[in-house]
Homo-oligomer: A and B are copies of this chain.
Amino acid sequence: MKQITKHVIRNDLKRLFTYRICLIGFKRKGFDRIYSHDLGEEAGVTADQVRKDFSVYKMKGNKKGGYIITDLLNAIDEIFKYQNNQYVILVGMGNIGQALVQYKRFILRKMIIVASFDINPSKQSKRFGIPVLPMSMMREIIDKFHVNVAILAVPEISAQDATNKLIDSGIIGILNFAPVILKVPDEVIVSNINLCDELESVIYYTQKVM
């Protein structure tokens, strides 16, 4: 077990995701070229930052002519290896879990929730488009679909237990919604979503402004 749980997603990678969303938007509007300036405005960063990011990943544009959108999208896809669907599982079919399994955009981005798990048998009988299974079936599903990543949406009190079971079953990446710092081995990636913190931050900053 590691002492320091790193769950930091590099900022430039986050920006690449943003760029991709913006680029898809521009493409849909009929553009096939884009200037760093315009992409920056849309993505909420400076043009310098855009060019620097592209420079780091060796994406080339045309002096005076801007960047070709499909080239950029291909390059980004290459960085993130988007050939195949990525299968994930979800644990905890409560309020937030049920919202997530119905989120269409995951599928658009080739991330498929193949099954969800819950200790509560009454959840297991409900229909959400994907099967809701007992915890005992976790390993079987993980092996069958070669799942590496899980979304964790169980109550705080159960989060570490569920994490242990996930790691035991072969999971090496967790998107964690419980406001808890999970103890995991070095090689496991954890990314924490803490909506209270986010909302509180916004409140904090609005009060600074006034």
Contact = CB atoms under 8 A, between A and B. Distances in A.
A130 interface: no
A18 B146 CA distance: 33
B5 A44 contact: yes
A191 interface: yes
Interface string A153-192: 0000000000000000000111100011100000101010
B9 A198 contact: yes
Contact of A80 (B44, B105, B189, B200): B200
Contacts of A43: 181
A9 B202 CA distance: 8
Contacts of A95: 98-99, 102-103
Interface of A: 3-7, 9, 13-14, 17-18, 21-22, 40-46, 80-81, 86, 88, 95-96, 98-100, 102-103, 105-106, 109, 111, 148-149, 151, 172-175, 179-181, 187, 189, 191, 193-207, 209-210
Given A3-B41, A105-B196, 17 more contacts: A4-B40, A4-B41, A5-B44, A7-B44, A14-B201, A17-B197, A43-B181, A80-B204, A88-B199, A95-B103, A99-B99, A106-B196, A111-B203, A148-B206, A172-B206, A175-B195, A193-B193
Q: Which 5 A-B pairs have the closest CB atoms?
A: A5-B44, A173-B206, A95-B99, A9-B201, A17-B197
22 contacts: A13-B201, A13-B204, A14-B201, A17-B197, A21-B179, A21-B180, A22-B181, A43-B181, A81-B207, A95-B102, A96-B99, A99-B99, A100-B195, A111-B203, A148-B210, A149-B199, A175-B195, A175-B202, A189-B206, A189-B209, A191-B202, A193-B198
